[in-house]
Amino acid sequence: MSKKYSYEFKLKIIQEYLNGTLGYKLLSKKYNISSKSQLQKWINQYKKYGKEELKTKKCNKKYTLNFKLDVLRFKQDTGASYKDTANAFGIGEPSFYN
């Protein structure tokens, strides 16, 4: 089961990162965040969609088969990274960041 972090906590860490004091790895260690990729995900969400995206969602989004195929075709045709592909389609919390 994944740990839930508060909106305020996420925002605090992101601001510390953006102020340039520590990098992903050291901030993750300092605040006992499960992994640096978790922090990277928050920062990507914040930069792309703003602070509202950091709030916990109440339900999972359902995607149609055609939407999923469009995402896969885009990634294959453009050679975009997983993160860039997710951003291009407005997928705020992709599970395939690396």
pTM across the whole model: 0.59
Query: Would you state the pLDDT for residue 2?
Result: 54
The pLDDT tens digits for 42-78 are 888 888 888 877 776 655 678 899 999 999 999 999 9
The pLDDT tens digits for 20-47 are 888 989 999 999 988 888 888 888 888 8
DSSP assignment of the chain equals -PPP--HHHHHHHHHHHHTTSS-HHHHHHHTT-S-HHHHHHHHHHHHHH-GGGGSPPSS-----HHHHHHHHHHHHHH---HHHHHHHTT-SS-S---
